[in-house]
A and B are shown apart, each in its own frame.
Chain A
Amino acid sequence: MLQSAEMPRHTVKASDFSETYRRAFRWMLLARTTEEKIASVFRSGGKITGGVFLGKGQEAISVATGIALRNGDIFAPLIRDQAGRLAFGESLLDCTLTYLGARSGPMRGRDGNVHRGRPLEGLLPMISHLGAMISVVNGMLMAHRFQGKKNTVGAASLGDGATSTGAFHESINQAAVENLPLVLVVTNNQYAYSTPNDRQFACADLVDKAIGYGIRGHSVDGTDLGACLRVIGSAVELARQGEGPQLVVATNLRLVGHGEHDDAHYIAPHLKEMPLGRDSLAVAEAELLQNAWADSETIEGWTRDSISQVEKAIAHSLREPSPDPATEDWCALSSRHLAEGLSSNGSRG
C-alpha cells in the first residue's frame, strides 16, 4: 500500500476535528490527482481499455464515508468513490493496476476499472447492476451477528439512480427488518448518466424514503467536507451503537461526464451556478485556509506528495505484465474437480 505508508489509517477522535479534516482533505487531493492522471493516461490512448469513471466533485461525500469506517467494517463503494476507497484502506496500486489491466492487480485483468475490491478485507467489488451491493453488505453484517462480531458497520454508496431499483427497495427493507448496522450513502448528483432527477423519482426529497422503511434519514450538503464528516460520521456512529440502518442523502452536482466517454452536455447550466455545483475539493481547500488549519505552503506540499505517489503507482503499474490468455486459468469454479472442459478445446470447452 503505497500511500498508507505515509498516511496510516486510524480513527481520529471527534475532538480533533481539524486533524480529521486535514486527513480527509489529503485523501481527496490524492483521489483527484489519481483520477486526473488516469484520465490523462486514458486520453493518451492504448494503455487503458474500457471505461474511466471519475468522482470529481464527489470526493467530500466519498472520503467522509471511507474515513468513518475502520478495520473490520464493510465498504461497498460505487463508481465515484476513489477518495472513500483510499480512506478505507485500498492501496493506490489496486486502483492503477486494475485500470491498466495488470495481471498482478486484485482483479488480474478479469475485471477492470471501478469493479475492483478485496472481499476478505471488507471492500466489495461492485457489479454493474445498481443497488445490487447493498444486500451483500447486509449479508456480511448478518454473518458478523452470527459470529458474535460486535460494533462493525457496513456502508454502501449509491447514486440517485440506484434508488429507483428493486434491489434498493428489497435490501433497505431487509436491513430494517434485521436492524442491521447499515449506512446507505446516497449521493444525489442530479443525474443518473443523462437522466435528471425529475425523470428518476417523484418524491420531494430522497431522504423522505427513510421514514417509509422505518429507518433514520440524514441530509447533507455534499459539497461541504465538514458537513459530510459530521453527518456521515454520526450516521456511522448511530449504526455502530445499534440504532439500525441509516440513510444519508448528500446533494451535489456531478462535475464530469458519467464516464470519460461522456461530455455531459446535458447538464443544465443553471445547476453549475448553484451552491450544489461547487467543487468540494476547492471548497475544502478554502475552508482549510480560512480556519488556518493549513497554509498554502502546506497544501502545495501535499499536492506535490500526491503527484509523486500517483506517478510512482502509474509507473509501477505500466511495467506490470498484462494477463496472458495462454496461461490464464480458465476455471470459474473453486471446486476444480467439478469444472467442465478444462482440458478440452472441443465442444465442451
Chain B
Amino acid sequence: MITYLEAIREAQRQALENDPRVYIYGQDIGAFGGAFKATKNLAQSFPGRVLDSPISEDAMVGSAIGASLQGMRPIVEMQFADFSTVGFNQIVNQAATMFWRTGVPCPITIRLPSGGTPGSGPFHSQNLEALYAHYPGLILMTPATVEDAYSMLLEAVALDDPVIFCEHKYLYFHLKAESLPSEALPVGRARIARAGRDATVVTYSAMVHEALSAAEELSTQGWEIEVIDLRSIKPLDTDTVLASVARTGRILAVGEAWPWGGVTAEVLARVATDGFNLLDAPPMRLNSKDTPVPFHPNLWGTHRPTAQTIVSALRDLLRL
C-alpha cells in the first residue's frame, strides 16, 4: 500500500532521477525531509539537489523563476499553502506573466500543502486554489487520489508553465492505493469518480471523498449521484461537467474553500451560461463558512462541507 504523501515523495524521486534539471527547494526539506516528510531521504539520494531554503517565500519563488529561465525545473515546497501568500507577488506577477510578456516559458512547480486537518487553525488550513486560478498564466492542479498525486506531480514538473500543485494534507496519511499508476488521464480532464443518474456533484481534492460518502449514503435510499473529480481546476474541464449535467439535470458544486467567488462559483457560472437548458433545478453550491478556518475540531468539522452536509444539500437539490 502506498499513501498519498508517499506518492508525492515517489513522484519527486522519479522527477529527480529522470531529469537532471530538476531540483527541490523549500524549508526544512533537506536532511530533515520536510515538515510532512514529503522529501524524506531525497537529499541523501540526490546530494545537492534537495536544498533547504531560508524562511523566505518571496525569494524561494523568485529564485525558482530565475533558475527555470536558465533551463532548470525547480520544485518549490511551501511548508503550508498558507505561507505561499508571502511569495504571492513572485507567483502571480513574475512567474504567471513571464511567458506572456517575453515568450520565454517559466517551468516551475510550487507544491502547496493545502486544506484543513483538525487542530490546524487559521494559518495552516487554507485552500488558495481560487486565488491563484484567478491569475492568467498559471496551471492549478488539485489531486484527490494517490494515483493523481503521483502522475499529476510528474506532469506538473514536465510542463513548461508554472504549476500550483495543491496537495491536500488531510489525504496525506489516510488515503492509500495498492500501487502507483503507470498511466493517467491527462491534466485538464476531469474524472467521473462515481457514475450516477439523479444529480451531479462537481468537486475536487479532499471533498471528492466526502462527496463519495454522501453518494454512498443516498444510494441506500435509491438515489444515484454522479461525482465528478475536477483533478485540475485550471484548466477546468467544463465539457465533462456539462455532459454530466445533461444526464442528471441537477448540479451541486462542492469546495472546501471559502464561498465568495472561487471554484464552485466558476463551475456554476459556466453551467448556467452554457448549460442553462440542461438544468431541471437551480444549480447549488456548498463551501466552507465565510470565516477564517477554526482551530477546535468541533468548529472545524462544521466549518467545512462534510458528507453529511453534502447529503443534506443534495436532498434539497432533489427536492426530497
Q: Is the CB of A338 within 8 A of B137?
A: no
B173 CB within 8 Å of chain A = no
**Complex CA–CA separation, A274 to B60 (angstroms):** 41
- Shortest distance between the CB of A325 and any CB in chain B (Å): 15
- B23 touching A146, Cβ below 8 Å: yes
Main secondary structure of the interface of A (DSSP, over half): helix
What separation, in Å, do the CA atoms of A338 and B139 have in the docked complex?
Answer: 8
Across the interface, name the chain B residue whose C-beta is closest to A76. Answer: B66
From A144, A171, A338, contact of B161 by CB (8 A):
A338
For B58, give its contact among A167, A177, A339 (CB under 8 Å): A167
B102 and A170 within 8 A (CB): no
Task: Mark contacts of B78-115 with chain A using CB atoms, 8 A cut-off: 1 yes-contact digit, 0 otherwise.
Answer: 00000000100110011011111111110000000000
User: Which listed segment binds A: B218-226, B230-238, B253-261, B304-312?
Assistant: B230-238
Interface residues of chain B, those whose CB is within 8 Å of chain A, are: 23, 48-49, 53-54, 56-72, 74, 86, 89-90, 93-94, 96-105, 136-137, 139, 159-161, 187-188, 234-236, 238, 269-270, 273-274
B171: shortest Cβ distance to chain A, in Å? 24
The segment out of A37-45, A118-126, A183-191, A200-208 that lies at the interface is A118-126
Taking a contact as CB atoms under 8 Å apart, the answer to whether B136 and A138 are in contact is no
User: Which residues from B are CB-within-8-Å of A128?
Assistant: 93
* In the bound complex, CA of A174 to CA of B26 (Å): 12
A127 to B96, CA, bound (A): 12
Could you say which of B71, B89, B160 contacts A334, with CB atoms under 8 Å apart? Answer: B160
Starting from the known contacts A136-B94, A143-B70, 16 additional A-B residue pairs (CB-CB under 8 Å) come to: A106-B102, A108-B103, A117-B102, A120-B69, A127-B93, A135-B90, A136-B66, A139-B64, A140-B67, A141-B66, A170-B58, A171-B63, A174-B53, A333-B161, A335-B139, A346-B274
Give Cα A134–Cα B62 distance, bound, in whole angstroms: 8
Q: How large is the interface on A (under 10, 10 to 19, 20 to 34, 35 or more residues)?
A: 35 or more
Residues of A participating in the B interface, judged by any CB pair closer than 8 Å:
106-108, 110-111, 115, 117-120, 125, 127-129, 132-144, 146-147, 166-167, 170-171, 173-174, 177, 332-335, 337-340, 346-348
Q: A334-B105, A347-B269 are in contact. Are A139 and B63 (CB under 8 A)?
A: yes
In the bound complex, what is the Cα–Cα distance between A138 and B69 (angstroms)? Answer: 12
